């Protein structure tokens, strides 16, 4: 099958499985789209449990934080992190309900060395100027503070899925900058791999106080089966434990199959 025919077939499949709610979303940068995404997450059993696992992974990465610690989630959107980490400060660039504070991650309103940890899910690959963002993280993070994120992967399987089943750009040959102004409509799913793997030496030279402690691929199946935010769930919720067990068996192959990275940074 030619690449053009395969792309056409993929578009047909995705179109047939598309959620009615997602068909109504014409502007991803409209806060209404984020509100609808939050409703979709809660309505789909697979997707809700995947997000809960992501939050727990971030919580485990935090370790034992003190009661006076300041932990900030960036790009909280329609998520529900406070159900897992109640003390977190939620934030977003858009004006959406139930978010504590609104700001751009490239110009954060926190004092120098005042934050103990930053958490984010699918945020970094939307950042237009990663260097400005990383400088802000470096400025506002306390020594021994942490940056924990879950982002799309550039494994063989992750790249295939992102390139054929996702609306966002995925360009592993790109530079660090993401073109465009839309906070959600423009992105490069390969950006985390570019910065923290391909260009790791550049990152370490430019941000010597931010040490990469983990870039771990994971979750090869569950998110895809959930259908994400735009496609119908592919299996009933009762199959979740079965798929979870299969993913456990596939862990040795996550370097090729994982659809997401767990990225951890620590400030010296």
Chain mean pLDDT for the chain: 92
What pLDDT is attached to residue 207?
A: 98
Q: Report the domain count for the chain.
A: 1
pLDDT for residue 218 is more than 70: yes
Q: Which domain holds residue 82?
A: 3-267
Q: What pLDDT is attached to residue 8?
A: 45
Laid out side by side, the sheet with 71-74 consists of 101-102, 89-92, 71-74, 115-121, 141-152, 260-267, 210-218
CATH of the domain at 147: 3.40.50.150
In this predicted model, what pLDDT tens digit does every residue of 138-157 receive, in sequence order?
999 999 999 999 999 999 99
pLDDT, one tens digit per residue, over 6-38 is 454 545 555 556 777 766 677 888 999 999 999
Q: Residue 2's pLDDT band (boundaries 50, 70, 90)? A: low
User: Which pLDDT score is estimated for 18?
Assistant: 72
What is the Cα–Cα distance from 43 to 229, expressed in whole angstroms?
11
For position 16, what pLDDT does the model report?
A: 57
At 153 the three-state DSSP class reads coil
Which sign, positive or negative, has the C-alpha torsion 172, 156, 220, 255? negative
> Per residue in 48-74, pLDDT tens?
999 999 999 999 999 867 768 999 999
102-134 pLDDT, tens digit per residue, is 999 999 999 999 999 999 999 999 999 999 999
The pLDDT tens digits for 168-204 are 899 999 999 999 888 888 999 999 999 999 999 999 9
- Say whether pLDDT at 163 is over 70: yes
Q: Tens digit of pLDDT for each residue in 234-266? A: 999 999 999 999 999 999 999 999 999 999 999
Under 8 Å between Cβ of 80 and 41: yes
- The pLDDT, as a whole number, for residue 63 is 83
- Give me the pLDDT at residue 165, please: 82
- Answer for the pair 231, 19: CB distance below 8 angstroms, yes or no: yes
Q: Whole-angstrom Cα distance, residue 101 to residue 76? A: 10
- Alpha-carbon distances of 137 from 51, 112, 142, 159, 206, rounded to whole Å: 24, 9, 9, 27, 13
pLDDT band at 167 (very low <50, low <70, confident <90, very high): confident
pTM as predicted: 0.92
Query: What pLDDT score does 92 carry?
Result: 96
Q: Which two tokens stand for residue 107?
A: 């110009």
């Amino acid at each position: 099958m030619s690449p053009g025919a395969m792309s056409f077939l993929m578009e047909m499949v995705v179109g047939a499985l598309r959620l009615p709610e997602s068909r109504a979303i014409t502007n991803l940068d409209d806060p209404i789209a984020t509100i609808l995404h939050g409703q979709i997450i809660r309505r789909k059993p697979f997707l809700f449990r995947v997000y809960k696992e992501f939050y727990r992974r971030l919580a485990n990465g935090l370790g034992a934080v003190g009661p006076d610690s300041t932990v900030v989630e960036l790009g909280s959107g329609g998520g529900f992190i406070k159900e897992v980490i109640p003390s977190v400060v939620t934030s977003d660039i858009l004006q959406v309900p139930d978010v504590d504070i609104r700001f751009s991650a490239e110009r954060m309103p926190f004092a120098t060395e005042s934050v103990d940890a930053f958490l984010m899910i699918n945020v970094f690959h939307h950042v237009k100027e990663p260097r400005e963002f990383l400088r802000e993280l470096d400025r506002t993070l306390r020594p021994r503070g942490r940056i924990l994120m879950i982002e799309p992967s550039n494994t063989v399987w992750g790249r295939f899925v992102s390139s054929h089943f996702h609306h966002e750009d995925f360009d592993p040959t790109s530079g660090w900058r993401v073109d465009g102004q839309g906070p959600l409509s423009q992105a490069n799913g390969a950006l985390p791999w570019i910065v923290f793997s391909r260009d790791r030496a550049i990152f370490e030279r430019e941000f010597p106080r931010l040490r990469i402690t983990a870039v771990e691929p994971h979750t090869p199946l569950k998110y895809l089966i959930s259908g994400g935010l735009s496609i119908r769930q592919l299996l009933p919720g009762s199959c979740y434990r079965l798929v979870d067990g299969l993913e456990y068996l596939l862990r040795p192959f996550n370097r090729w199959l994982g659809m997401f990275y767990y990225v951890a940074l620590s400030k010296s």
